[in-house]
């Protein structure tokens, strides 16, 4: 009888011990799951914060903050390119024509380009002002000097711009032979750099 009682006590002890172990294991698994969910949530929040910081300092955001680039901003929005320079990491170099530069363009030509049906043509013009790389003014000057006073820049639109120096000023010559001067260099953005120019450059017709 005593032996039977002993077996019963041992069996109950084993069940209780197993039950405790199972509970402990479940608690540990639950804790690990909660920690993983918390880590994932923190990672998502950090990524969202970084995305918001990047977008608030993007090329598009910098352009929107600059009064003299309001026409360019309108053009980017019409061509549906504003988002590209907001969310894309790039890096890009944008030779940004100021409002005075757009005023030099024939009004009929500009009005025509800004029409919704000419979105792709406007996009081509704007892409001609963009380089898929980050080039600071210091780097550009060095490239010009290292290439006998003229450096050829390949643009996002598939065209070419010739960069040269007149004194300390960087001059861009487009495929049609028109010239633009960099009037403000190195506007730093999270996804590249902006150099403000005083003329709209055009690809060869």
Characterise 141 by phi-psi region: left (phi > 0), alpha (psi -120 to 50), beta (else): alpha
Which is more confident, 196 or 106? 196
Across the chain, mean pLDDT equals: 85
Which pLDDT tens digit goes with each residue over 51-88?
566 566 889 999 999 999 999 999 999 999 888 888 78
Q: Which of 157, 177, 182 is nearest to 167 (CA)?
A: 182
Q: In whole angstroms, what is the distance from residue 192 CA to residue 91 CA?
A: 5
**From the candidate CATH numbers 2.30.180.10, 2.30.30.40, 3.40.50.1580, 3.40.50.920, the one assigned to the domain spanning 58-197:** 2.30.180.10
Domain boundaries, the chain: 1-56, 58-197
> Tokens in use for 128?
């001609």
Using pLDDT thresholds of 50, 70 and 90, give the confidence band for residue 124: very high
Query: Model's pTM, two decimal places?
Result: 0.73
> What's the mean pLDDT in 96-116?
92
Which of 28-42, 66-80, 188-202 shows the lowest mean pLDDT across its residues? 28-42
Name the packing angle between helices 70-78 and 119-127 (round to 10°).
130
Contact present, 170 and 194 (Cβ < 8 Å): no
Residue 2 has pLDDT above 70, yes or no: no
């Amino acid at each position: 009888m005593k032996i039977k009682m002993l077996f019963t006590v041992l069996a109950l002890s084993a069940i209780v011990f197993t039950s405790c172990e199972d509970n402990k294991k479940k608690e540990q698994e639950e804790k690990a799951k909660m920690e993983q969910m918390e880590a994932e949530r923190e990672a998502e929040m950090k990524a969202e914060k970084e995305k918001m910081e990047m977008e608030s300092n993007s090329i598009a955001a910098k352009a929107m903050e600059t009064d003299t680039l309001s026409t360019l901003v309108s053009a980017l929005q019409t061509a549906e390119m504003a988002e590209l320079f907001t969310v894309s990491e790039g890096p890009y170099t944008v030779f940004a024509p100021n409002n005075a530069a757009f005023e030099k363009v024939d009004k009929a030509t500009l009005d025509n380009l800004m029409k919704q049906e000419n979105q792709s043509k406007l996009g081509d013009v704007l892409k001609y002002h963009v380089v898929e790389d980050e080039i600071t003014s210091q780097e550009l000057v060095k490239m010009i000097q290292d290439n006998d006073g003229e450096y050829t820049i390949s643009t996002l639109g598939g065209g070419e711009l010739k960069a040269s120096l007149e004194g300390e000023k960087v001059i861009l010559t487009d495929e049609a032979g028109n010239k633009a001067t960099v009037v403000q260099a190195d506007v730093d953005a999270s996804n590249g750099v902006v150099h403000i120019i005083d003329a709209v450059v055009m690809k060869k017709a």
